[in-house]
Structure 1
Amino acid sequence: MCDVGITVLDGDTLRSLHVSLREDTVSLTGAQVLDLAESEASRSLLGLSLPQHLKSSALRRMNIDGVDDEGVDDDVDFRRKELSPEEASRKLNEYLSAIADELKDNPLVASILDGSALRMFLEDEDDFAMIAENLFTDLDTEDKGMISKREIRNAVVNMGVEMGVPPLEEFPLINDILKKHGAEEEGELGQSQFAELLQPILQEVADALAKKHFAVIHNIKIVNGSELKKVLANEKKLNDVIAKIKQERDNGKSGHKSTEIIKDFLEKNGKELGLPPAEANEAVILLYDAVFADIDSGKGASEEEDEFRKLVTEILEKFAEQLEANPIYCDLDG
């Protein structure tokens, strides 16, 4: 069995994209501009439908998502507005840039299903036989050695994205393939009959995906240091963080080393600053080890305020540097 790989969509393909309107364009509504931009972005992102949260965040970057001081919905107001060709072109490309910037800060992790994973184990008789046997066994809950022909649908569903099969509700062509092969008819199948019916179904799914790739977004966040850099660049936010850590130092931890106090604070509160959750995975443990190995662990807790500020800043900068070089993937479902 082979697992489907993942692709990181960070907006790079959008940065060089410049869309021009047709020469005969007289005017466009804001809604038409947004639809055109989203269509062009989707085409550049391997056909991926843009998630709503991505579109909303990009619109916020353009200050046209939300309610203004007078209670007017900026989004609705913009969508209804008639734009000249010049203004429409400017807003279209501004929206594309905003999408690219949002992906840079918050990349999407997706699997691009192109049929290759399915073809790989279909071409290996032993691999396919093992998969078919496992699927049949899972569906034969009564251990009769026979299952309903209609269970073929569940077999395809159970294979899932990990094996290269898109969700049926998002890729309806699979339903047509199942109907074509009688997957909704009455009857029972033994294990060999099940395998014989499953094989051509999966082959047609693989062929369909080869013609039109399908992208599945995973609920994974990539922590690449971009959020932490914003904290470092914002003097007020940075001062607030330093003040909170200093308070930890002054409240009962005076005997601890400064690095220990800072590390403890970041492990508990780092997520709010753009650090990965301390309990996320082994990569996070290695990240903390790499950062604090470069810091003078012999520093005491009695440093002057300026020295303490420099120490906290240095540690946060090292985290940002490490995450930019080696981003960490965090499963949001975990």
Structure 2
Amino acid sequence: MSGLTILDGAVLRSIDLNLPELAFFKFLNLSLPPHLTEAAISRVTAGDDVSFRLTELNPQQASEKLGVFVSAVADAIRDAPVVVLVLDGSTLKLFLEDEDDFAMLAENLFTDLDEEDKGKLCKSHIRTALSHMGVPPLSDDIIKSHDADGDELLGQAQFAQLLQPVVQDIADILHHKPIPIVLNLDIFTGSRLRNILADEKKLNCILEKMMLQVSNDQGWAHLIKTLIENNGKELGLPPLSSDNEPVLLLYETIFSQLNNREKETTGPGFIDALKDILAKFEELLEATPVYCATNL
């Protein structure tokens, strides 16, 4: 029923701002996360919302402000891409095309909802079944049109027979008008770290701050691990979490390449090794991005 789309600003930068209605159209069906909207609006208004709301804009000025808004959003999601789930009905259609698959789906839903094992469910459980299937709340009119609400009891076969046309109608609606949903996920593609590594001044500034945390009584490899873990957020790395296997694998893969020998931690060799490890993080994240639950 869905597909994942990663918004990293590339599409927004391709918008022809001479056609503002096109840009507006791209935002109409997608509710941006509050932090993105607030950051973009702040850039448009230069931090003075009150004055901006009282300002009358001619078409040219409005187009320019729209351009600032779009650019601000694009910049914000360049380093922190947004993960969007597009509900388009495709998975529902796959179930509907195979009678056996749909029968099994309906049976499993019926069994899960029949908590008292009575072999009967009221029509109103159709709504709950749709929720369990991950169907968005757009089905009230459809449920009413199929008389799929109320207290009338249905057996398993009747329940499946009623569920099928409801699901079919919802799949058709989503096919013609997909629903995008911004997920509460952060995706780490290495883009932020790539930008840091490409900016020598910024990289050196971060490394200098990290070196203030150096203690010579730590092993060389252990120290690099500690510095990277403690400064991961600023570097654009995913937070290390014991319940996120892809992130654990990422760190284990990179840190396994460290040499555990004791070495001087103040010389250029240590800095070069630290940069090399960061570059490996960037390469692996670019090849295999990882997802984490957002802290926002």
1:25 maps to none
CA contact (8 A) 2:89 2:172 kept: yes
Distance in 1 (CA, whole Å) between partners of 2:101 and 2:51 is 56
Q: How does 1:11-90 map to 2 (within 5 A)?
A: 11-20=9-18, 39-42=24-27, 47-60=29-42, 62=43, 64=45, 66=47, 74-90=48-64
One-letter amino acid of the structure 2 residue matched with residue 7 of structure 1 = T
Distance 1:37 1:242 in 2: 48
Q: Is the 8 A contact 2:44 2:65 kept in 1?
A: no
- Alpha-carbon displacement from aligned partner over 1:254-311 (angstroms, at most 9, x marks no partner): xx2x12211133235523432112235333344334434555x155232434333333
2:160 to 195, 211, 217: 195
Q: What code does the residue aligned with 2:11 have?
A: T
Query: In structure 2, what is the Cα distance between the partners aligned to 1:42 and 1:141?
Result: 42
Change (3 A) 1:231 1:75: farther
> 5+ residue gaps in structure 2?
none
Percent sequence identity over matched residues? 45
Q: 1:208 aligned to 2:206?
A: no
Residues 1:76 and 1:313: Cα distance change in structure 2 (over 3 Å): farther
Distance of 2:22 and 2:52 partners within structure 1 = 14
Distance, in Å, in 1 between the alignment partners of 2:44 and 2:22 is: 16
Q: Kindly tell me: are residues 48 and 21 of structure 1, through their superposed partners in 2, closer, same or farther at Cα, counting changes over 3 Å? A: closer
Of residues 105, 120, 125, the one that matches 1:146 is: 120
Q: Say if 1:59 and 1:310 are closer, same or farther in 2 by CA, change over 3 A.
A: farther
Aligned mates of 2:240, 2:151 — CA distance in 1? 53
Q: Which residue of 1 aligns with 2:187?
A: 222
Q: 1:155 aligns with which of 129, 149, 166?
A: 129
**1:108 aligned residue:** 82
Deviation at 1:82, TM superposition (A): 1.9
Q: 1:175 to 1:304 in 2, by over 3 A?
A: same
1:282 aligns with 2:210: no
Structure 1's consecutive aligned runs of 4 or more residues displaced over 6 angstroms after TM superposition are none
Residue number among 315, 318, 324 corresponding to 2:277 in the alignment: 315
Deviations 1:32-67 (A, max 9, x none): xxxx68724326xxx32323222123334x27465x
Q: RMSD between aligned alpha carbons?
A: 2.6
TM-score if structure 2 supplies the norm length? 0.86
For structure 1, the 5+ residue unaligned runs are 23-35, 67-73
Distance 1:298 1:136 in 2: 57
CA contact (8 A) 2:210 2:227 kept: no
* Contact 2:124–2:148 under 8 Å retained in 1: yes
Per the alignment, residue 70 of structure 1 pairs with none
Counterpart in the other structure of 1:300: 262
- 8 Å CA contact 2:3, 2:87 repeated in 1: no
> Is 1:97 aligned with 2:83?
no
Taking the TM superposition and a 5 Å limit, the aligned residue runs for 1:232-247 are 232=197, 233=199, 234=202, 235-244=204-213, 246=214
Aligned residues: 290
Equivalent of 2:148 in 156, 171, 183: 183
Q: CA separation of 1:319/1:76 partners in 2, compared to 1, >3 Å: closer, same or farther?
A: farther
Instruction: Report the secondary structure of 1:300's partner residue.
Output: coil
The Cα offsets for residues 184-235 of structure 1, whole Å up to 9 and x where unpaired, read as 3331111111011101110110111112111122221111223334555424
Instruction: Work out the CA distance in 2 between the residues paired with 1:116 and 1:314.
Output: 43
- For 2:227 and 2:37, the matched residues in 1 are separated by 34
TM superposition shift of 1:21? 6.4
Please give the secondary structure, in 1, of the residue aligned with 2:286. helix
